[in-house]
Structure 1
């Protein structure tokens, strides 16, 4: 099974039978946010919320990437991960 659209890819991630690595999850998160919202314009999280900071930084690293390109990369990554986690 493979996804051909962003919506299909999101649905496919919900069928994973085991959890991807933290690095893979960050990549999925950042590509999804870039594909759906564009560049990160939110405020940097403060304090000791390391998870929020990691997510923020991963998304910020994609600044300037076109939504269509991020969407394609997200779909490709989900299809690759599906082979490992389904």
Structure 2
């Protein structure tokens, strides 16, 4: 499955940020905030700079997307990855 959706090529920081966002979304198409992702157990050991690099990378890889209706800091796990 990791290979099918492109997770096998992610760095550890990217994978941890993605998994934290996915866990917070509960496998549904729910908006998660940057603060919630940042404070998740999986991302607590990531430096601030690495966290933001990973977040930008996940957006550019279309694994996360910016949530509509918010200017910033609100994200969705891509629909085909969230199980919905």
Question: Does the pair score TM above 0.5?
Answer: no
Q: In proportion to residue count, which structure has more helix?
A: 1
Larger Cα-atom Rg: 1
Q: Aligning the two structures, in what range does the TM-score lie when normalised by the shorter sequence?
A: 0.3 to 0.5
Q: Which fold has the larger relative contact order, with Cα–Cα distance below 8 Å and residues 6 or more apart in sequence?
A: 1
Q: In proportion to residue count, which structure has more strand?
A: 2
Q: Normalising by the residue count of structure 2, what TM-score does the alignment of the two structures yield?
A: 0.32
Q: Normalising by the residue count of structure 1, what TM-score does the alignment of the two structures yield?
A: 0.31
